[in-house]
Structure 1
Amino acid sequence: MPTITVVPGDGIGPEVTREAVAVLDALGLGLTVDVLDHVHADRFLATGTALTDDDVSRIRASAATLLGAVGDPRVTSPDYARGVLLRLRAELDLYVNLRPVRLLHERLSPLRDGRRRDLDCVIVRENTEGLYSGIGGTLRAGTRDEVAVDADVSTWLGVSRVIDYAFGAARRGVCMVDKSNAVPAGGRLWQRCWRDALARYPQVPARHLYVDVAAMNLVAQPETFDVIVTNNSYGDILSDLAATLAGGLGAAASGNLNPATGFGLYEPVHGSAPDIAGQGIANPVGAVLSAALLVEHLGHPDAAEAVRGAVRSTVETGRCTPDLGGSLTTAGAGAAIRAALG
């Protein structure tokens, strides 16, 4: 019986993960849930510890992890978020950040032209390198002569393997996004790895775009994208843009994956939303769809598609939270999804 760890986290995290876990229970897959409900900002503020070695061991020993949200306005140090998310990504080598984006209903799209609303793509973001690697520093901090440097790190291994994953995920084609005309060193490496991949996958339609052009085309021609592969920072930005085009961050799911080991950490991308925490209006769809990704990668594609179908059904009929055009509470929306599962 597989065990999954659940880290509810901060803000609306406990509210939305509660509904996601209830959906997992309703699927009847025999999953055991190990809840790490002590991992949150309160503990970090009291002890300075984000994750203990024991926490990491419990997560590592599980089949997968579902995370709610990390972040609290009382915490001003980046060490908390880095100590949870970035530590897990680094220690478990979760080198693929997977962001599927699909418009749930046309009323949710901010695009006026109905012909441009057919958005159904996946953004594959390199997840362990780039500008988020934490390499850099500051000279003469706090003075008018302050100098701040953050290093954008790319390696042949990191770039090659994430591009390979993108080609493996393609249904219609792959678009590689970089800024090699302005960032020459990393750009040359990405371009070299891209050319090598084109030779390995000649049967897969492929194209390259600079990141500014890709952002424009996501708005103007979102239906032309299938799989986008890019670095850590560009992927972070483009995936939030795509999620907004598909109805907002409240419905956006993600996975942090190591395809070699099969382990994944799954999380909605909306953050902890402290301004609405405890009000019962948080949208659970992002967490529920993250749970669908989790069960899919555990080998239950039919169950995952059943969850996605239930979500689409509830959104289409307005049985959802106010941000998606409904009037239900968080718990009400979760119950509607479970009812739609039959």
Structure 2
Amino acid sequence: MATHKIAVIAGDGIGKEVVPAGIEVIEAAGRRFGIDFQWTAFDWSCERFAKTGEMMPKDGLDQLRPFDSIFLGAVGWPGVPDHVSLWGLLIPIRRGFDQYANVRPVRLFEGVQCPLAGRKPGEIDFYVVRENTEGEYSAAGGRMFEGTDREFVVQEAVFTRQGVDRILKYAFDMARTRQRKHVTSATKSNGIIHTMPFWDERFAAMKERYSDVTTDQFHIDILTAHFVRNPHWFDVVVGSNLFGDILSDLGPAVVGSIGIAPSGNINPERAHPSMFEPVHGSAPDIAGKGIANPIGQVWSGAMMLEHLGHKEAADAVVRAIAVVLAGGGPKTPDLGGNGGTRDLTRAIVEAVKAA
């Protein structure tokens, strides 16, 4: 029996509710497919920050290093500025472990009401691949003359050839595994004069190495419009840190609910543990009410299973999600139902047993 050591960071808000749900489903898949898990919980969160002044201890990365993967819930809570919580936990993990590929699937499931008129299951099924360690989310810059009329701020974007090329390669390699074999690049080279023309140049160079993959590219403004008007065009969409972040929230929104959206922060070379988390955040407005949608966390767990080499188990979990959504089972309020986190979790567990 395969055994995996998983670090668990439930974090804040609904993270504390959906992480146990995700673990329950992944354990069910493990029992069915002969996989054992050793879960180790860490209390790193805004609550910890309020007590200690740190989101995680200074040796946090060293504590996480021996694990096979990291299963994260959500980070952020009122009273702690978002840039404090993000730069105190998520970004150090993503960068310290070189998790440079942020991968977010977008899929319209049967049984989920699509906000776009006339769209049917099977018509929207693509991935957003986001560069996750550099780009616009750089620490380079600063403020001067704060509080005076002379105050100014500088924020530098950092695009390296290594960083751009490796995320483009990841996207093209992913496209090769899919039926359509198509990559779309998000750019803004008509307005951002240095970094985006460079991105376009590297994209053009990369596509020369993949004659079997078709390509197109759009400026980010019209691309967001096409996500709404023509989501069926897309297969693998690759973007910089900022553009990928925007698109990977818009994508789930156009298929019905950000509550079902998963993500993986991947170190493709497997030199460090990768981290899997839902897209939805800590949702303080519904935290503690028992109505959070667990599907984003569960699907993130399926991505973790696949990354760990258990594709059959991962596919069973995704099938179980699809069966429950399509079969008239319980749905949380974000999906138009009145069910709770526990109701939906139990239904998915039962579906995993039969998937």
TM-score band by shorter chain is over 0.9
Which residue of structure 2 aligns with residue 136 of structure 1? 141
State the 1:20 CA deviation. Answer: 0.2
State the 1:115 CA deviation. Answer: 6.3
2:346 to 326, 335, 341: 335
1:173-188 to structure 2, matched below 5 A, reads: 173-188=182-197
Which residue of structure 2 aligns with residue 208 of structure 1? 217
> Is 1:264 aligned to residue 283 of structure 2?
no
Bigger shift: 157-166 or 99-108?
A: 99-108
Which residue of structure 1 aligns with residue 337 of structure 2? 326
> Is 1:100 aligned to residue 105 of structure 2?
yes
Aligned counterparts of 1:116 and 1:283: Cα–Cα separation in 2? 20
> Is 1:229 aligned to residue 229 of structure 2?
no
| TM score, norm. by length of structure 2 | 0.93
1:71-86 to structure 2, matched below 5 A, reads: 71-76=76-81, 78-86=83-91
Which residue of structure 1 aligns with residue 159 of structure 2? 154
Give the 3-state SS of the residue equivalent to 2:245 in structure 1.
Answer: helix
1:1-342 to structure 2, matched below 5 A, reads: 1-27=3-29, 28=31, 29-36=35-42, 38-76=43-81, 78-105=83-110, 107-114=112-119, 118-170=123-175, 171=178, 172=180, 173-261=182-270, 263-316=273-326, 317-342=328-353
State the 1:288 CA deviation. Answer: 0.3
Aligned counterparts of 2:111 and 2:240: Cα–Cα separation in 1? 30
- Aligned residues of 2:112 and 2:325 also touching (Cα < 8 A): no
Give the 3-state SS of the residue equivalent to 1:145 in structure 2.
Answer: coil
- Aligned residues of 2:102 and 2:266 also touching (Cα < 8 A): yes
**Which amino acid counterpart does residue 205 of structure 2 have in structure 1?**
D
Aligned counterparts of 1:115 and 1:319: Cα–Cα separation in 2? 21
Aligned-residue CA RMSD in angstroms?
1.5
Aligned counterparts of 1:125 and 1:297: Cα–Cα separation in 2? 17
State the 1:126 CA deviation. Answer: 0.3
Moved over 6 A (4+): none
Change (3 A) 1:115 1:30: closer
Bigger shift: 201-210 or 142-151?
A: 142-151
Residues 44-90 of structure 1: CA distance to partner in whole angstroms, max 9, x if unpaired?
11211112244322322111111000001021362222110000011
Residues 125-150 of structure 1: CA distance to partner in whole angstroms, max 9, x if unpaired?
00011121121111222233321221
Bigger shift: 218-227 or 129-138?
A: 129-138
Aligned counterparts of 1:106 and 1:234: Cα–Cα separation in 2? 29
Aligned counterparts of 2:5 and 2:119: Cα–Cα separation in 1? 43
State the 1:117 CA deviation. Answer: 7.8
Aligned counterparts of 1:64 and 1:213: Cα–Cα separation in 2? 36
Give the 3-state SS of the residue equivalent to 1:24 in structure 2.
Answer: helix
State the 1:98 CA deviation. Answer: 0.3
- Aligned residues of 1:5 and 1:58 also touching (Cα < 8 A): no
- Aligned residues of 2:14 and 2:292 also touching (Cα < 8 A): yes
Aligned counterparts of 2:119 and 2:306: Cα–Cα separation in 1? 31
- Aligned residues of 2:302 and 2:314 also touching (Cα < 8 A): yes
Residues 260-300 of structure 1: CA distance to partner in whole angstroms, max 9, x if unpaired?
12631000011101111111001100000000000011011
Change (3 A) 1:107 1:67: closer
**Which amino acid counterpart does residue 38 of structure 2 have in structure 1?**
T
- Aligned residues of 2:264 and 2:275 also touching (Cα < 8 A): yes
How many corresponding residue pairs? 341
Aligned counterparts of 1:63 and 1:111: Cα–Cα separation in 2? 39
Aligned counterparts of 1:273 and 1:115: Cα–Cα separation in 2? 28
Residues 18-39 of structure 1: CA distance to partner in whole angstroms, max 9, x if unpaired?
0000111111211111111x21
- Aligned residues of 2:106 and 2:124 also touching (Cα < 8 A): yes
Aligned counterparts of 2:314 and 2:337: Cα–Cα separation in 1? 24
- Aligned residues of 1:10 and 1:69 also touching (Cα < 8 A): yes
